[in-house]
Structure 1
Amino acid sequence: MNRMLQTKSMNIALPPNQARETLRDLIVSKGLSYLMEAHDGLSAAIARQAGFKGLWASGLSISSSLGYRDANEASWTQVVDVVERMADASDLPILVDGDSGFGNFNNARLLAGKLQQRGASGVCLEDKGFPKMNSFVGNRHPLAEIDEFSGRLKAVKDTTGPDFVLVARIEALIAGYGLDEALHRADAYADAGADAILIHSRKSEATEILDFARRWAGKLPIVIVPTKYYKTPVSAYRDAQISTVIWANHNMRAAISAMRTTCDRIMAEEGIAGVEPEVATLEEVFGLLHYDELAAAEDRYLPKHA
């Protein structure tokens, strides 16, 4: 279905240009913005209902929901299909975790072009080779050559145009290099056309992230993912003039916890009477996905029978 022909009454995606502008507004805003993780249409709709203004299409969460590991086991076409469902289920702009681009410059630009067609508002590419490994798994995280990765960024920009948001994710701190290397790469990626820099860390406190922000001095907006240093108060990010915080995987992790608890109880109790008051009602499901619009459309478009 052409997204431009879909109606706002269905609470689905805005026209692509409007969605992309909204993501850019979030990224460049002087205030602190939040992107909430989603990994399918349902989680996207829930994030929208909660009041989030933008989504992070997490590679880890999408892979996990498909039964794959976050090591490029899911194909880029599978990721694109999921993002389309997220776009159709919400009117929120989506920044997509594009991993390392699934290959060289050509793979990266194919990915970005398809994401743009399917309703995404931007893509984030990390400076690793292909296949990549999740940043919190093991200690083997070889980085891409700066010039080669800069070529990937340029190819994406040339393919998608200026409105599609391109975030360059720096893995230098993950890979064990120092702050100087991270800043050197950030300068190169800014020159290559990145709209924002995502600086990533696996430490349990935010010191190196805040040091990066101080030395970077606002050359481009900074995006962070505080999965490991979650105890840091957001006031520290505001003080450091960080642009955007991504809550990167909590919908997926919450779903695992809730489903495990429900399955264990049904198995133990040999019935659903005990869990029924603790799970969403069918009416909530129908409301979230706007079954009322479908019922009204049936009355409008289907033949009337005596």
Structure 2
Amino acid sequence: MKTTTALKTLLLKQELSFLMESHNALSARIAEESGFEGLWASGLSIAASMGLTDRNEASWTQILEVVDFMTDCTTVPVLLDGDTGFGNFNNVRRLVKKLSQRHVAGVCLEDKLFPKTNSFIGAGQPLADVQEFCGKIKAAKDSQLDDDFCVVARVEALVSGLPMEDALMRARAYADAGADAILIHSKQSDGEEVLSFCHQWERDIPIVIVPTKYYQIPTDRFEQLGVSTVIWANHSVRAAISAIRSITRSIRQNNSVAQIEQDIATLDDIFNLTSEYEHQKAEQKYLPA
């Protein structure tokens, strides 16, 4: 199955689907190996892995290069966190064409202003004009090279402190503009905003959520309300930071690796993840004896 078709299938199927954050090819491969059926190419995580803020400091071509490596070494669909589309409708058209050429299955666009600021920083972030953002969605759908390419519209109204009526109005407008799914975002830890939105959502278009802050709510509650997909949006990079910090501090304090060797991946594990042994077999096939 094509990855674009696979992503659309995940969004539309009856049971809950889960996408795992990936920020490079290695984390993508590990996520697929762990059983995830789809990947979230996180803008925050990719930027953080470059040492940059989540404020569009990384150019869209730099992001695309990372995602290109991810699709090369995995077989599951990749949904790109496309922020605001890196500009106006024309930037969105070019972005979607390039994503389609590189076998990325879909893009998520959020209705904030370029350059964006991470949703969990500050309050009252300004949002894009509804009609302008609808134009971005239409431009994205008109530019896709594969009929199954997915455009997910991310609603930031609740994050920005606007009332539920505004979030619902925006979501309906984005659905009418051709979005394949709606991502409703919230940073409240009790999750009540998202639950309320799902109660009031009357369209057939799939709902996607990112429970970074309201992670304590069992996901089956959202499934009961018709949520299609859950994105674990930044957990690989956060896990990597914790592990690397712990190991490197231990090595520095002990001036030895003897005490941590059993806690880290083996070289053989790296060779498996990077297809080293397949390369050795290829040498036997293609190089002269």
- Tell me if both proteins adopt one fold, taking TM over 0.5 as the criterion: yes
For residues 107 and 85 of structure 1, the distance between their equivalents in structure 2, rounded to whole angstroms, comes to 22
For residues 260 and 209 of structure 1, the distance between their equivalents in structure 2, rounded to whole angstroms, comes to 34
Give the aligned partner of residue 8 of structure 1: none
Task: Provide the TM-score with structure 1 as the length reference.
Answer: 0.93
For residues 254 and 124 of structure 2, the distance between their equivalents in structure 1, rounded to whole angstroms, comes to 45
Give the aligned partner of residue 206 of structure 2: 221
Superposition pairs of residues 160-175 of structure 1, within 5 angstroms: 160-161=144-145, 162-175=147-160
Give the aligned partner of residue 253 of structure 1: 238
Q: Identify which of 57, 62, 65 aligns with 1:73.
A: 57
Q: How many residues align?
A: 288
Question: How far 1:140 moved relative to its partner?
Answer: 4.4
Question: How far 1:217 moved relative to its partner?
Answer: 2.5
Question: How far 1:274 moved relative to its partner?
Answer: 1.2
For residues 266 and 218 of structure 1, the distance between their equivalents in structure 2, rounded to whole angstroms, comes to 55
Corresponding position: 1:230 with 2:215: yes
The AA in structure 2 aligned to 1:202 is K
Give the aligned partner of residue 48 of structure 2: 64
Corresponding position: 1:212 with 2:197: yes
Q: Identify which of 87, 94, 110 aligns with 1:110.
A: 94
For residues 165 and 268 of structure 2, the distance between their equivalents in structure 1, rounded to whole angstroms, comes to 54
Runs of 4+ in 1 over 3 A off after TM superposition: none
Which stretch of structure 1 is more off in the superposition, 103-112 or 41-50?
Answer: 103-112
Give the aligned partner of residue 271 of structure 2: 286
Q: Identify which of 125, 131, 134 aligns with 2:118.
A: 134
Give the aligned partner of residue 199 of structure 1: 184
Q: Identify which of 7, 10, 15 aligns with 1:31.
A: 15
The AA in structure 1 aligned to 2:55 is A
Give the aligned partner of residue 176 of structure 1: 161
Question: How far 1:53 moved relative to its partner?
Answer: 0.4
Task: Provide the TM-score with structure 2 as the length reference.
Answer: 0.98
**Contact 2:20 2:232 (C-alpha < 8 Å) held by counterparts:** yes
The AA in structure 1 aligned to 2:61 is T
For residues 192 and 275 of structure 1, the distance between their equivalents in structure 2, rounded to whole angstroms, comes to 54
Partner of 1:36: helix, strand, or coil? strand
The one-character-per-residue Cα deviations of 1:33-60 (angstroms, maximum 9, x if unpaired) are: 0000000000000001100000000010
The one-character-per-residue Cα deviations of 1:203-226 (angstroms, maximum 9, x if unpaired) are: 001111011111113431000000
For residues 74 and 159 of structure 1, the distance between their equivalents in structure 2, rounded to whole angstroms, comes to 23
**Contact 1:83 1:119 (C-alpha < 8 Å) held by counterparts:** no
Give the aligned partner of residue 302 of structure 1: 287
Give the aligned partner of residue 81 of structure 2: 97
For residues 95 and 63 of structure 2, the distance between their equivalents in structure 1, rounded to whole angstroms, comes to 9
Give the aligned partner of residue 256 of structure 2: 271
- When the two chains are superposed, the root-mean-square deviation of aligned CA atoms in Å is 0.9
**Contact 2:124 2:161 (C-alpha < 8 Å) held by counterparts:** no
**Contact 2:43 2:81 (C-alpha < 8 Å) held by counterparts:** yes
Partner of 1:37: helix, strand, or coil? strand
**Contact 2:154 2:184 (C-alpha < 8 Å) held by counterparts:** yes
For residues 54 and 214 of structure 2, the distance between their equivalents in structure 1, rounded to whole angstroms, comes to 20
- Equivalent pairs: percent with the same residue? 53
Superposition pairs of residues 3-14 of structure 1, within 5 angstroms: none
* Runs (5+) with no aligned partner, structure 1: 1-16
For residues 203 and 216 of structure 2, the distance between their equivalents in structure 1, rounded to whole angstroms, comes to 24
